[in-house]
Chains A and B, each alone.
Chain A
Amino acid sequence: MAKLYSNKPKSDFKLNPKDETISFILNYSKALSVINYKSMKFESLQN
């Protein structure tokens, strides 16, 4: 039998981001507010 030297294709990934990343995103979302003034939009980050 010929040996197979090729690696298995790395196509099936099941990975999750770190909890810190998720919590950063959620906190960013809570802190960000967009203020509309006439036709302009202002973003402000409040911690």
Chain B
Amino acid sequence: MQKELISDAQLVSNYIRGEESALEVLITRHKQRIYSFIYSKVFDRDISEDIFQDTFIKVIRTLKRGKYNEEGKFLPWVMRIAHNLVIDHFRKNSRMPKFDNSGDFNIFSVISDNALNAEKTIIKGQVEADVRRLIDELPEDQKEVLVMRMYKDMSFKEISERTGVSINTALGRMRYALINMRKVIEKHNIVLTN
């Protein structure tokens, strides 16, 4: 009973000072609110468990690193973390389920459009153009092998026959081509993701 009297702020500062049991009290006090909130967004028990766990891992790390400031309240802060992780989850799956509760059947909840949208199509084009320019910067022998392998889909056996070098040499050129491209990408901080 006495545990209920201790405020969240007090429990947080006790926890930061090393009292592990304070965390248990905090979790017991707020688990239902946080878990229910997550479930109300993702509608999946297993995903909710994962997000709940990740939320508290983040909470623990922040508290132990001493980065928590008692500006707001503990629960809204944890809810905000949970909310962000829910968004991350949907971003990862690049889809957002819609629940309109109207009772109508919505065809788009069972079929999805996997085609890239206009923005992603443009980004894809830019990324591919960037990669092409990187390839153009490679030494001729490496470029030749890379283009045959990646764009013409030839096997290393075919490449070695076409270029008149051994398979091992072709493999080595491919390896150096990738290493060189990675070096350039890292050096210039080029982002090649969609």
Hey, which bits of chain A sit against chain B, CB under 8 A? 5-7, 9-11, 13-18, 21-22, 24-26, 28-30, 32-34, 41, 43
Contact = CB atoms under 8 A, between A and B. Distances in A.
A21 to B, nearest CB: 5
B151 to A, nearest CB: 44
Interface in B38-75: 39-40, 45, 48-49, 52-53, 56-57, 60-61, 64-66
Nearest to A6: B103
A21 B52 contact: yes
Interface of B: 20, 23-24, 27, 31-32, 35-36, 39-40, 45, 48-49, 52-53, 56-57, 60-61, 64-66, 99, 101-103
A29 B23 contact: yes
A22 B60 contact: no
A17 B101 contact: no
Contact of A10 (B45, B52, B65, B101): B101
Given A5-B103, A16-B35, A29 B60 contact: yes
B52 A29 contact: no
A26 B99 CA distance: 34
A16 B33 CA distance: 8
B36 A15 contact: yes
B89 to A, nearest CB: 16
Contacts of B20: 26, 29-30
11 contacts: A6-B101, A7-B103, A10-B99, A10-B101, A11-B40, A13-B36, A15-B48, A16-B32, A17-B49, A25-B23, A34-B64
